[in-house]
C-alpha cells in the first residue's frame, strides 16, 4: 500500500454539486501538494502546504478550496466546477517544500464533471 | 521562458529492443532533475534524481544520464512490464517544472 492514500478513487459530480477529495500520508513528511493531471499535459501544481501552512497557490480558481488540518491530512473542497475541471487530481508529500527531494504520490482521484 | 520538453510523445518497442527517452530543458540554474514512472490508474513513482552534468544513475534496465541541456533515460532490453509513462521534472530555485511525459509501450 502506498504511503499516500487518496479517496475517493473516482468521482462524478454535476456542476452544482459540492464534494471533497481526501489525502492522507503516513510518511511523516512536512509538505503536501495538490496537482492536476490532464491528458498529454504536464502536471500542474495547484497548492503546497508546509507544516499545515499554505505556501503556494498557483492562481487556482476559487471553486477549488484546500484545507490542511494537520501535517498528515489534506483536503480539496470542490464546488460549482466546470467540465474542463475533469482530470486526475494527485496528492503528493515530501520531507520539505524546497523541491529538492522526491515527491511521493497517491494514486489520484479521477474526477468527471458533468 | 523556463521549459521542459520530453520526446518522443509515445514510443513503441519490441521486447528486447533498446532505446532512449529524452528530456530537454531551458531552465537556468538547474538544482536537480527527477525521473518518475507512472502506470495507468496510479500516481507517479520516483525513479532517479540527477544533480550535475555527467552524472549517471542505474536501476535494473534503466539508466539516466544528464548533460547541461538534457537528460536521457536509456532502457536496455526492455520487457513488457516496463510499459508506462515516464515523466521528468526539473528543479530550479524551489520550483519544479514538469514535462508532459513519454508513453512507452513494449510489445512481447
Mean pLDDT of B85-101: 92
Which residues on chain B place their C-beta less than 8 Å from a C-beta of chain A? Answer: 4, 9, 31-32, 34, 41-46, 49, 87, 89, 91, 93-101
Secondary structure of A31-52 as H, E, C letters: EEEEEEECCCCCCEEEEEEECC
Nearest to A100 among B42, B87, B91 (CB): B91
Between CA B29 and CA A62 the distance in angstroms is: 33
> How confident is the model at residue A2, as a pLDDT?
57
Which residues on chain A place their C-beta less than 8 Å from a C-beta of chain B? Answer: 2, 4, 40-43, 45, 90, 92, 97-100, 102-108
Percent of chain A whose predicted confidence (pLDDT) is above 90? 80
DSSP state of A99: S
Mean pLDDT of B73-84: 98
Tell me the pLDDT tens digit for each residue of A31-71.
Answer: 999 999 999 999 999 999 998 888 877 789 999 999 999 99
Chain B contact set for A30 (CB, 8 A): none
Amino acid at each position: 500500500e502506498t504511503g499516500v492514500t487518496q479517496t475517493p478513487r473516482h468521482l462524478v459530480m454535476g456542476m452544482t454539486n459540492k464534494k471533497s477529495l481526501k489525502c492522507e500520508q503516513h510518511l511523516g513528511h512536512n509538505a503536501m501538494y495538490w496537482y492536476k493531471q490532464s491528458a498529454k499535459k504536464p502536471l500542474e501544481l495547484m497548492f503546497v502546504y508546509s507544516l499545515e501552512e499554505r505556501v503556494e497557490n498557483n492562481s487556482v480558481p476559487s471553486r477549488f478550496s484546500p484545507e490542511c488540518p494537520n501535517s498528515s491530512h489534506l483536503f480539496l473542497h470542490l464546488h460549482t466546477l466546470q467540465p474542463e475541471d475533469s482530470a486526475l487530481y494527485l496528492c503528493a508529500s515530501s520531507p520539505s517544500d524546497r523541491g529538492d527531494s522526491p515527491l511521493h504520490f497517491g494514486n489520484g482521484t479521477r474526477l468527471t464533471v458533468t | 521562458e523556463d521549459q521542459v520538453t520530453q520526446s518522443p510523445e509515445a514510443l513503441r518497442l519490441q521486447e528486447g529492443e533498446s532505446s532512449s527517452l529524452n528530456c530537454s530543458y531551458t531552465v537556468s540554474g538547474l538544482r536537480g532533475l527527477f525521473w518518475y514512472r507512472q502506470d495507468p490508474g496510479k500516481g507517479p513513482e520516483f525513479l532517479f534524481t540527477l544533480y550535475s552534468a555527467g552524472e549517471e544513475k542505474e536501476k535494473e534496465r534503466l539508466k539516466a544520464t544528464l548533460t547541461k541541456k538534457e537528460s536521457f533515460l536509456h532502457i536496455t532490453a526492455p520487457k513488457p512490464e516496463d510499459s508506462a509513462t515516464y515523466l521528468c521534472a526539473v528543479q530550479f530555485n524551489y520550483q519544479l517544472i514538469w514535462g508532459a511525459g513519454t508513453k512507452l509501450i513494449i510489445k512481447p
